[in-house]
Amino acid sequence: MAGLAAGVAHGGEPSAPSAKVLRPKGEQADHAGLATVPKPAPANRKELATAFSKASPSSLTDLRNMEKRVKDLVRRLSPAVVDVQVGNGSGSGVVITEDGLVLTAGHVCGRTGREVRLTFPDGKTAKGKTVGIGRDNDAGLIRITDKGAWPHVAVGDLEQTHSGDWVLAMGHPGGFDLKRSLVVRLGRIIRLEDGALRTDCTISPGDSGGPLFDMYGRVIGIHSFISGSLTANFHVPITGFYDDWEELVKVRLDQGE
Amino acid sequence: MSLERILKEPGSERERGAPRWVGPGPAPIRPWPFVIALFLGLALQIAHGQDTPLNSPLPRTRFRSGDETLRAFASVSHMTRHSIVKLHVDGETVALGMVMDVNGLVLTKASEIKKGKLTCWLASDK
């Protein structure tokens, strides 16, 4: 099965070895992985430089170690961060399976079954369709309908995530621009509560649906809402997708596609 | 299992001749479990780099651009701070810039410098 539980992400990122399967009664096929809840990749705090576990970086050495990690992550993760055009609007998204399942924001999708044009950072494009929208949150799901083995990244969880953790926000604010490509912002989690993940990463219109990565390179949130202050923005926690997964894929399963 | 019973268990410390409290009154409280718990707690806090509960809101000083975070740049910023200037057009701040040479050439962002009266403020407020 090439799906959410797929093995290795673009750039060698370990991904989910197995996953919980949601299969409606009488369902034989798994709809190319859609019925499978993503399983988070593991995280190991020991992998990270000590700078990331301090209350604040305290020296140039800390800053250089952080810079090195950010560069590594950007090189590894950015190929999977897409610009999403739906109708006249545009947002961002992130591919999480080799066969092209894309996490985004519900308000970027608008409704299910819409035609989508996705643009990768290198300028390549693909067609897709909106698959689902979260009932209780701003989660959105898109499926790339073109055939291909797409660059993708691992998803994470929030079990080891805390206020103060450093995070990377990526996206295509203002729409795709080949000269500039995607935009990366480093920030910190400023609040983490049930159903609410806030960071001081600056996000702008067009970033909606883009991924928030932890420093292990796992998607832990999706940009949702820009607050009045530049430094207190909201993201859909990745757990919001897991909790609503059945709902997110329900329409497609009901339609028997 | 009660302490009394443990002490009577064959092979227990008491049975093996381990020292026991024989003085008047209740046995003294052994401080080691508390000391160990205290150290474990401190170690966990240090490991997470937090001195506040893990999911309480982050203090503003620790934001990405908070004072505490920016202190890490101090050894570099103190060398350059007097070269950073603030640019006003018609009295309104439009951009920052950096003095590049002793003649006062300033590097800045062109699109922000609109027509009008341009004023350059040094770090010393001149």
Mean pLDDT per 10-residue segment, chain B (126 residues): 44 43 52 60 49 73 94 90 93 94 94 92 88
Catalytic residue among A10, A30, A62, A107: A107
The CATH number that applies at residue A233 is 2.40.10.10
Q: What is the pLDDT of residue B25?
A: 54
Contacts of B76 in chain A (CB under 8 A): 60
In a domain, A12, yes or no: no
Asked whether the beta carbons of A78 and A153 are under 8 A apart, the reply is no
CB contact under 8 A, A55 and B66: no
Based on the domain organization, do A208 and A93 belong to the same domain? no
Quick check: is A224 catalytic? no
Using CA coordinates, name the residue in chain A closest to B60: A190
CB contact under 8 A, A200 and B64: yes
In a domain, A179, yes or no: yes
Angle at A251 between CA A250 and CA A255, to 5 degrees: 115
Domain that holds residue A92: 82-153+242-255
Based on the domain organization, do A104 and A214 belong to the same domain? no
Q: CB count, 10 Å around CB of A8?
A: 12
Angle at A143 between CA A137 and CA A148, to 5 degrees: 150
In a domain, A161, yes or no: no
DSSP A50: G
CB contact under 8 A, B75 and A187: no
In a domain, A96, yes or no: yes
pLDDT over 70 at A178, yes or no: yes
Based on the domain organization, do A189 and A136 belong to the same domain? no
Catalytic residue among A90, A92, A208, A224: A208
Q: CB count, 10 Å around CB of A1?
A: 12
Based on the domain organization, do A251 and A125 belong to the same domain? yes
Quick check: is A138 catalytic? yes
Is the sign of the CA dihedral A223, A152, A77, A179 positive or negative?
A: negative
Residue A139: pLDDT band by 50, 70, 90 thresholds? very high
Q: What is the pLDDT of residue B40?
A: 57
Gap between the Cα atoms of B91 and B118, Å rounded: 8
Based on the domain organization, do A140 and A172 belong to the same domain? no
Look at the pTM and tell me if it is higher than 0.90: no
| The total number of structural domains that make up chain A | 2
Asked whether the beta carbons of A169 and A223 are under 8 A apart, the reply is yes
In a domain, A21, yes or no: no
Q: Where do runs of H (alpha helix) occur along chain A?
A: 60-77, 106-109, 238-243, 245-255
